[in-house]
Amino acid sequence: MISYLTRRVLFFGLTLLLTSLIVFAAVRLLPGDVETAVLGRGAEPAARAALRQELGLDLPFLIQYANWLGKFLRGDWGNSYALKAPIMPLVMQRLGNSMRLALIAMLIAVPLSVLLGLLAGLSEGKPFDIAFSLISLILVGIPEFVMGIILINVVALEWKLLPPSASVPPDASFSEALPRLILPSLTAAAVLLAYIGRLTRVGVIAELRRTYVRTAVLKGLRWRQVVFKHVLRNALLPTITVIAISFGWLISGLVVIENVFAYPGLGRLMVFAIQQRDLPLILGGVMIAVTAFALANLIADLLYAALNPRIRLS
Protein backbone atom coordinates (compact mmCIF):
# COMPACT_ATOMS: atom_id res chain seq x y z
CA MET A 1 0.00 0.00 0.00
CA ILE A 2 2.82 2.41 0.91
CA SER A 3 4.68 1.80 -2.33
CA TYR A 4 1.44 2.14 -4.29
CA LEU A 5 0.81 5.43 -2.49
CA THR A 6 4.26 6.83 -3.28
CA ARG A 7 3.99 5.74 -6.89
CA ARG A 8 0.60 7.39 -7.29
CA VAL A 9 1.73 10.64 -5.64
CA LEU A 10 4.91 10.76 -7.74
CA PHE A 11 2.86 10.15 -10.86
CA PHE A 12 0.50 12.94 -9.80
CA GLY A 13 3.44 15.35 -9.45
CA LEU A 14 4.93 14.32 -12.79
CA THR A 15 1.63 14.73 -14.62
CA LEU A 16 1.11 18.18 -13.13
CA LEU A 17 4.64 19.20 -14.07
CA LEU A 18 4.19 18.04 -17.67
CA THR A 19 0.76 19.64 -17.91
CA SER A 20 2.09 22.93 -16.60
CA LEU A 21 4.87 22.77 -19.21
CA ILE A 22 2.31 22.20 -21.97
CA VAL A 23 0.06 25.03 -20.80
CA PHE A 24 3.03 27.37 -20.34
CA ALA A 25 4.34 26.49 -23.79
CA ALA A 26 0.91 27.05 -25.34
CA VAL A 27 0.62 30.47 -23.75
CA ARG A 28 4.22 31.62 -24.31
CA LEU A 29 5.35 30.02 -27.56
CA LEU A 30 2.27 30.53 -29.65
CA PRO A 31 2.13 33.81 -31.49
CA GLY A 32 0.16 35.62 -28.80
CA ASP A 33 1.41 39.16 -28.42
CA VAL A 34 1.98 40.13 -24.81
CA GLU A 35 3.34 43.60 -25.57
CA THR A 36 0.24 44.63 -27.50
CA ALA A 37 -1.92 43.20 -24.74
CA VAL A 38 -0.15 45.30 -22.10
CA LEU A 39 0.88 48.46 -23.95
CA GLY A 40 -1.81 48.76 -26.60
CA ARG A 41 -1.44 48.81 -30.37
CA GLY A 42 0.58 51.94 -30.97
CA ALA A 43 3.46 51.14 -28.59
CA GLU A 44 7.03 52.32 -29.32
CA PRO A 45 9.52 49.55 -30.22
CA ALA A 46 11.75 50.72 -27.32
CA ALA A 47 8.90 50.40 -24.85
CA ARG A 48 8.12 46.92 -26.22
CA ALA A 49 11.74 45.81 -25.80
CA ALA A 50 11.86 47.18 -22.26
CA LEU A 51 8.67 45.31 -21.38
CA ARG A 52 9.96 42.08 -22.87
CA GLN A 53 13.06 42.41 -20.70
CA GLU A 54 11.02 43.28 -17.64
CA LEU A 55 8.77 40.26 -18.09
CA GLY A 56 11.74 38.03 -18.91
CA LEU A 57 10.43 37.25 -22.39
CA ASP A 58 13.91 37.63 -23.92
CA LEU A 59 15.24 34.64 -21.97
CA PRO A 60 15.37 31.07 -23.34
CA PHE A 61 12.07 29.21 -23.01
CA LEU A 62 13.08 26.68 -20.36
CA ILE A 63 14.58 29.41 -18.13
CA GLN A 64 11.34 31.37 -18.48
CA TYR A 65 9.43 28.25 -17.52
CA ALA A 66 11.66 27.56 -14.49
CA ASN A 67 11.34 31.17 -13.34
CA TRP A 68 7.59 31.09 -13.74
CA LEU A 69 7.27 27.74 -11.96
CA GLY A 70 9.43 28.94 -9.04
CA LYS A 71 7.30 32.03 -8.58
CA PHE A 72 4.09 30.08 -9.07
CA LEU A 73 5.00 27.59 -6.34
CA ARG A 74 5.86 30.43 -3.98
CA GLY A 75 2.45 31.98 -4.61
CA ASP A 76 3.62 34.88 -6.77
CA TRP A 77 1.38 34.52 -9.82
CA GLY A 78 1.91 38.03 -11.17
CA ASN A 79 -0.69 40.66 -12.01
CA SER A 80 -3.62 40.46 -14.37
CA TYR A 81 -3.18 42.77 -17.40
CA ALA A 82 -6.86 43.50 -17.70
CA LEU A 83 -7.81 43.85 -14.01
CA LYS A 84 -4.46 45.32 -12.83
CA ALA A 85 -4.66 43.21 -9.68
CA PRO A 86 -2.68 40.27 -8.22
CA ILE A 87 -3.88 37.02 -9.78
CA MET A 88 -3.63 34.53 -6.93
CA PRO A 89 -6.21 35.98 -4.47
CA LEU A 90 -8.59 36.63 -7.38
CA VAL A 91 -8.31 33.11 -8.78
CA MET A 92 -8.56 31.52 -5.33
CA GLN A 93 -11.74 33.44 -4.49
CA ARG A 94 -13.33 32.43 -7.80
CA LEU A 95 -12.17 28.84 -7.36
CA GLY A 96 -13.92 28.79 -3.99
CA ASN A 97 -17.12 30.03 -5.62
CA SER A 98 -16.90 27.37 -8.35
CA MET A 99 -16.27 24.69 -5.74
CA ARG A 100 -19.47 25.66 -3.93
CA LEU A 101 -21.38 25.08 -7.12
CA ALA A 102 -19.55 21.83 -7.86
CA LEU A 103 -20.11 20.57 -4.32
CA ILE A 104 -23.87 21.16 -4.38
CA ALA A 105 -24.12 19.59 -7.85
CA MET A 106 -22.22 16.52 -6.65
CA LEU A 107 -24.32 16.26 -3.48
CA ILE A 108 -27.47 16.22 -5.61
CA ALA A 109 -26.18 14.08 -8.45
CA VAL A 110 -24.07 11.34 -6.85
CA PRO A 111 -26.52 9.71 -4.38
CA LEU A 112 -29.46 10.11 -6.75
CA SER A 113 -27.61 8.72 -9.78
CA VAL A 114 -26.25 5.74 -7.84
CA LEU A 115 -29.73 4.97 -6.54
CA LEU A 116 -31.41 5.33 -9.94
CA GLY A 117 -28.62 3.41 -11.68
CA LEU A 118 -28.94 0.59 -9.14
CA LEU A 119 -32.73 0.40 -9.54
CA ALA A 120 -32.45 0.46 -13.33
CA GLY A 121 -29.75 -2.21 -13.30
CA LEU A 122 -31.83 -4.45 -11.03
CA SER A 123 -34.85 -4.13 -13.31
CA GLU A 124 -32.99 -4.59 -16.57
CA GLY A 125 -35.34 -4.62 -19.55
CA LYS A 126 -38.38 -3.66 -17.45
CA PRO A 127 -40.30 -0.40 -17.95
CA PHE A 128 -38.35 1.48 -15.24
CA ASP A 129 -35.03 0.55 -16.82
CA ILE A 130 -36.23 1.50 -20.30
CA ALA A 131 -37.54 4.85 -19.05
CA PHE A 132 -34.29 5.48 -17.18
CA SER A 133 -32.18 4.63 -20.22
CA LEU A 134 -34.23 6.86 -22.52
CA ILE A 135 -34.31 9.85 -20.19
CA SER A 136 -30.61 9.61 -19.35
CA LEU A 137 -29.77 9.28 -23.03
CA ILE A 138 -31.58 12.52 -23.77
CA LEU A 139 -30.11 14.25 -20.69
CA VAL A 140 -26.60 13.37 -21.85
CA GLY A 141 -27.40 15.01 -25.19
CA ILE A 142 -28.62 18.30 -23.71
CA PRO A 143 -25.79 20.83 -23.47
CA GLU A 144 -25.50 22.66 -20.15
CA PHE A 145 -26.45 25.97 -21.68
CA VAL A 146 -29.70 24.63 -23.12
CA MET A 147 -30.60 22.99 -19.79
CA GLY A 148 -29.71 26.18 -17.92
CA ILE A 149 -31.86 28.35 -20.16
CA ILE A 150 -34.80 25.94 -19.87
CA LEU A 151 -34.54 26.00 -16.05
CA ILE A 152 -34.27 29.80 -15.99
CA ASN A 153 -37.30 30.26 -18.19
CA VAL A 154 -39.52 27.66 -16.58
CA VAL A 155 -38.58 27.59 -12.89
CA ALA A 156 -37.47 31.18 -12.45
CA LEU A 157 -39.44 33.26 -14.95
CA GLU A 158 -42.71 31.32 -15.33
CA TRP A 159 -43.11 29.68 -11.93
CA LYS A 160 -41.15 32.42 -10.14
CA LEU A 161 -39.78 29.90 -7.63
CA LEU A 162 -36.12 30.89 -7.66
CA PRO A 163 -34.06 33.86 -8.84
CA PRO A 164 -33.12 33.60 -12.54
CA SER A 165 -29.56 34.84 -12.21
CA ALA A 166 -26.79 33.76 -9.88
CA SER A 167 -24.91 37.03 -10.01
CA VAL A 168 -23.97 37.28 -6.35
CA PRO A 169 -21.15 39.53 -5.17
CA PRO A 170 -17.92 37.51 -5.52
CA ASP A 171 -17.40 37.53 -1.73
CA ALA A 172 -20.96 36.59 -0.75
CA SER A 173 -21.29 34.12 2.11
CA PHE A 174 -22.63 30.63 1.50
CA SER A 175 -26.07 31.21 3.02
CA GLU A 176 -26.49 34.46 1.12
CA ALA A 177 -25.63 32.79 -2.15
CA LEU A 178 -27.54 29.53 -1.61
CA PRO A 179 -30.94 30.36 -3.18
CA ARG A 180 -29.17 31.63 -6.26
CA LEU A 181 -26.97 28.55 -6.42
CA ILE A 182 -29.81 26.05 -6.74
CA LEU A 183 -30.62 26.46 -10.44
CA PRO A 184 -27.00 26.40 -11.66
CA SER A 185 -26.29 23.37 -9.44
CA LEU A 186 -29.34 21.56 -10.83
CA THR A 187 -28.10 22.28 -14.34
CA ALA A 188 -24.70 20.79 -13.56
CA ALA A 189 -26.31 17.88 -11.72
CA ALA A 190 -28.56 16.97 -14.67
CA VAL A 191 -25.67 15.94 -16.93
CA LEU A 192 -23.77 14.24 -14.09
CA LEU A 193 -26.89 12.39 -13.04
CA ALA A 194 -27.31 10.84 -16.47
CA TYR A 195 -23.63 10.09 -16.86
CA ILE A 196 -22.96 8.51 -13.45
CA GLY A 197 -26.35 6.79 -13.43
CA ARG A 198 -25.76 5.10 -16.79
CA LEU A 199 -22.38 3.78 -15.70
CA THR A 200 -23.72 2.55 -12.35
CA ARG A 201 -26.46 0.71 -14.23
CA VAL A 202 -23.93 -0.98 -16.52
CA GLY A 203 -21.79 -1.93 -13.49
CA VAL A 204 -24.76 -3.43 -11.63
CA ILE A 205 -25.85 -5.45 -14.67
CA ALA A 206 -22.31 -6.78 -15.17
CA GLU A 207 -22.01 -7.79 -11.51
CA LEU A 208 -25.41 -9.49 -11.46
CA ARG A 209 -24.19 -11.89 -14.17
CA ARG A 210 -21.21 -13.00 -12.04
CA THR A 211 -21.32 -16.50 -10.62
CA TYR A 212 -20.90 -15.33 -7.02
CA VAL A 213 -24.37 -13.81 -7.20
CA ARG A 214 -25.85 -17.18 -8.09
CA THR A 215 -23.85 -18.81 -5.31
CA ALA A 216 -25.08 -16.25 -2.80
CA VAL A 217 -28.70 -16.73 -3.87
CA LEU A 218 -28.45 -20.52 -3.89
CA LYS A 219 -26.93 -20.66 -0.44
CA GLY A 220 -30.03 -18.87 0.79
CA LEU A 221 -28.99 -15.26 1.32
CA ARG A 222 -31.81 -12.80 1.15
CA TRP A 223 -31.96 -10.86 -2.14
CA ARG A 224 -31.57 -7.55 -0.32
CA GLN A 225 -28.37 -8.83 1.30
CA VAL A 226 -27.01 -10.02 -2.04
CA VAL A 227 -27.69 -6.66 -3.63
CA PHE A 228 -26.39 -4.36 -0.91
CA LYS A 229 -23.55 -6.41 0.52
CA HIS A 230 -22.18 -7.89 -2.68
CA VAL A 231 -23.44 -6.46 -5.95
CA LEU A 232 -23.55 -2.79 -5.01
CA ARG A 233 -20.11 -2.87 -3.41
CA ASN A 234 -18.49 -4.31 -6.50
CA ALA A 235 -20.53 -2.22 -8.90
CA LEU A 236 -19.64 0.98 -7.06
CA LEU A 237 -15.88 0.51 -7.43
CA PRO A 238 -15.71 1.74 -11.03
CA THR A 239 -18.24 4.42 -10.13
CA ILE A 240 -15.60 6.07 -7.90
CA THR A 241 -13.34 6.52 -10.90
CA VAL A 242 -16.28 7.74 -12.93
CA ILE A 243 -17.09 10.37 -10.32
CA ALA A 244 -13.49 11.61 -10.46
CA ILE A 245 -13.58 11.76 -14.24
CA SER A 246 -16.93 13.51 -14.21
CA PHE A 247 -15.29 16.09 -11.97
CA GLY A 248 -13.21 17.08 -15.01
CA TRP A 249 -16.40 17.15 -17.02
CA LEU A 250 -17.92 19.35 -14.31
CA ILE A 251 -15.03 21.83 -14.60
CA SER A 252 -15.74 22.21 -18.32
CA GLY A 253 -19.47 22.31 -17.67
CA LEU A 254 -19.11 24.99 -15.01
CA VAL A 255 -17.38 27.31 -17.50
CA VAL A 256 -20.60 27.27 -19.52
CA ILE A 257 -23.03 27.22 -16.59
CA GLU A 258 -21.36 30.15 -14.81
CA ASN A 259 -21.73 32.15 -17.99
CA VAL A 260 -25.39 31.22 -18.41
CA PHE A 261 -26.19 32.29 -14.84
CA ALA A 262 -23.67 35.16 -14.59
CA TYR A 263 -22.11 33.47 -11.54
CA PRO A 264 -18.72 34.83 -10.39
CA GLY A 265 -16.76 31.57 -10.57
CA LEU A 266 -13.48 30.49 -12.10
CA GLY A 267 -15.04 29.54 -15.44
CA ARG A 268 -16.54 32.96 -15.99
CA LEU A 269 -13.21 34.55 -15.05
CA MET A 270 -11.48 32.32 -17.64
CA VAL A 271 -13.82 33.34 -20.45
CA PHE A 272 -13.24 36.96 -19.46
CA ALA A 273 -9.46 36.35 -19.54
CA ILE A 274 -9.69 34.84 -23.03
CA GLN A 275 -11.72 37.74 -24.35
CA GLN A 276 -9.13 40.15 -22.90
CA ARG A 277 -6.22 37.90 -23.99
CA ASP A 278 -4.95 38.26 -20.43
CA LEU A 279 -2.30 35.53 -20.61
CA PRO A 280 -1.04 35.50 -16.96
CA LEU A 281 -4.62 35.28 -15.76
CA ILE A 282 -5.34 32.40 -18.18
CA LEU A 283 -2.20 30.62 -17.01
CA GLY A 284 -3.05 31.00 -13.31
CA GLY A 285 -6.68 30.01 -13.73
CA VAL A 286 -6.00 26.97 -15.88
CA MET A 287 -3.20 25.73 -13.63
CA ILE A 288 -5.42 25.87 -10.55
CA ALA A 289 -8.25 24.07 -12.36
CA VAL A 290 -5.86 21.40 -13.61
CA THR A 291 -4.46 20.91 -10.10
CA ALA A 292 -7.97 20.50 -8.72
CA PHE A 293 -8.83 17.94 -11.40
CA ALA A 294 -5.59 15.99 -10.91
CA LEU A 295 -6.14 16.02 -7.15
CA ALA A 296 -9.65 14.61 -7.62
CA ASN A 297 -8.19 11.82 -9.75
CA LEU A 298 -5.51 11.10 -7.17
CA ILE A 299 -8.04 10.90 -4.36
CA ALA A 300 -10.24 8.62 -6.44
CA ASP A 301 -7.32 6.31 -7.21
CA LEU A 302 -6.31 6.09 -3.56
CA LEU A 303 -9.90 5.50 -2.48
CA TYR A 304 -10.22 2.83 -5.14
CA ALA A 305 -7.07 1.13 -3.92
CA ALA A 306 -8.19 1.36 -0.30
CA LEU A 307 -11.50 -0.34 -1.15
CA ASN A 308 -10.12 -2.86 -3.62
CA PRO A 309 -7.14 -4.94 -2.43
CA ARG A 310 -6.72 -6.46 -5.90
CA ILE A 311 -5.32 -3.15 -7.18
CA ARG A 312 -2.82 -2.31 -4.48
CA LEU A 313 -1.41 -5.82 -4.28
CA SER A 314 -0.72 -6.20 -7.99
Partner 1 sequence: MRATARQRQTQPLQIVRLSMARRGRLLRRLWHDAPLSSIGALGVIGFLLLALIGPYLTPYNPTANSLSERNQPPSLAHPFGTDNFGRDILSRIIYGGRNIFALTGSATLIAVGLGLVIGLYVGYLGGWLDQIVMRLADALLALPSLLLTLVLLGALGNSRFTVLVAIVILYVPIVTRVVRSVVLDVKTKAYIEAAEIGGESRFHILFREIMPAVLPTLAVEGALRFSYAIFLVASLGFLGLGVARPEPDWGLMVSEARDWYALSPHILFFPSAAIVVLVVCVNLMADGLRRLLEYSEAD
Please state the φ and ψ torsions of residue 79, each to the nearest 5 degrees. Answer: -110, 145
Opening angle at CA 64, ends 60 and 68, nearest 5: 175
Cβ closer to partner 1: 114 or 261? 261
26 binds partner 1 (CB under 8 A): yes
Q: Which amino acid is at 154?
A: V
Q: Minimal distance in Å, beta carbon 14 to partner 1? A: 7
Q: Of the listed pieces 59-67, 92-100, 214-222, 281-289, which binds partner 1 according to CB under 8 A?
A: 281-289
Nearer to partner 1, 63 or 274 (CB): 274
Distances (CA, A) of 153 to 146, 179, 188, 237: 11, 16, 16, 38
Calculate helix-pair angle for 174-208, 127-141, nearest 10 degrees: 130
Segment 221 to 250, residues that bind partner 1, using CB under 8 A: 248-249
**d(Cα 171, Cα 84) in Å, to the nearest integer?**
19
Q: Interface residues for partner 1 in 28-47 (CB under 8 A)?
A: 30-32
Which residues make beta-bridge pairs with 86? 79
Single out the residue of 9, 63, 103, 157 in contact with partner 1 (rule: CB under 8 A): 157
- Cα 67 to Cα 279: distance, rounded to the nearest angstrom: 16
Q: Residue count at the site for partner 1 (CB under 8 A)? A: 47
Report if residue 195 touches partner 1, rule: CB under 8 A.
Answer: no
Nearer to partner 1, 26 or 172 (CB): 26
Answer for which of 114, 120, 255, 300 binds partner 1 (CB under 8 A) is 255
Q: What is d(CA 166, CA 181) in angstroms, rounded to the nearest whole number?
A: 6
Query: What residue ranges in the chain does DSSP mark as E strands?
Result: none
Which residue in the set 92, 119, 135, 140 belongs to the binding site for partner 1 (CB under 8 A)?
A: 140
Q: Which residues contact 174 (CB under 8 A, 6 or more apart)?
A: 100
Is residue 193 at the binding interface for partner 1, with CB under 8 A as the rule? no
Binding stretches for partner 1 (CB under 8 A):
14-16, 18-19, 21-23, 26-27, 30-32, 137-138, 140-146, 149, 153, 157, 248-249, 251-252, 255-256, 259, 270-271, 273-275, 277-279, 282, 286, 289-290, 293-294, 297
